[in-house]
Amino acid sequence: MELKTPEKGGYDKVLSELDAPIDVQQANAVYVGQRIIIPTQGEADSLYQDGYGRRLENRDFALTPSEALYLVEKERLTIIDEDEGRILSFQEILNRELKKDALLWTKYIIYRDIRGRGFVTKFPTEQSTIFLVYERGTYAKKPPCYEIHMVYEGMNETIGHLEQVLQSSMRSNRTLKLAVIDRRGEVVYYSLEKAELEKLGSDALE
């Protein structure tokens, strides 16, 4: 699938005027209007094929904060501030995005773990705490087969909400898993079946 990138003279100007050298093996993004945009069609196509990014209504190709942070950490992406004309560090990007999403760091830890295991994962929306995960080699060919629900410290989770999440995943023919970050910062995944959830509910009533 070929992605069409609109002409963005402003983005190109930022890239061309940047004095700092950029690794040619890295993709280049511009931080503009609270978005992380890939202005070059070839780089956008390459990232899309690897399971990153999406088209916005105005045809810009944008990365989610988790995607951008992961690619920066892996040294596959350079992000330039459009207004300041300089490269942003991993920490600067994280600090900016945390102001918009307080759960970003927790989401990123899980995103990084899923990606590190070789799976493509997407968020239904940028603020979502649910990860839709594709079986290896099936991205853009088949629907996601796993739905991972994030559980974090201090979260007010209920059996009723988990039941709703489970029913939603079953209707979509996806396997539901819970992702929990332990005290060592490692991600542990738990499968959740209807029978197990019903048992939890009955235990809570005893």
Of 98, 129, 164, the last residue of a domain is: 98
Residue 3 lies in a domain: no
Residue 84 lies in a domain: yes
Q: How much is the pLDDT for 125?
A: 81
| CATH number of the structural domain spanning residue 201 | 3.40.1350.10
Give the Cα-Cα-Cα angle 142, 188, 156 (nearest 5 degrees). 95
Same domain, 21 and 82: yes
Residue 60 lies in a domain: yes
Quote the domain boundaries for residue 137. 104-205
Query: What are 93-131's pLDDT values in tens digits?
Result: 999 999 999 999 999 999 999 999 999 999 988 778 899
Cβ 158 vs Cβ 87: under 8 Å? no
Tell me the DSSP string of 109-167: HHHHHHHHTT-EEE-SSTT--EEEEEPTT-TTTS---EEEEEE-TT----HHHHHHHHH
- The residues facing 177 across adjacent strands are 148, 191
Q: How much is the pLDDT for 19?
A: 45
Query: What are 21-64's pLDDT values in tens digits?
Result: 444 468 999 999 889 999 999 999 999 999 999 988 888 999 99
| CATH number of the structural domain spanning residue 86 | 3.40.1170.20
Mean pLDDT of 8-17: 47
Same domain, 111 and 193: yes
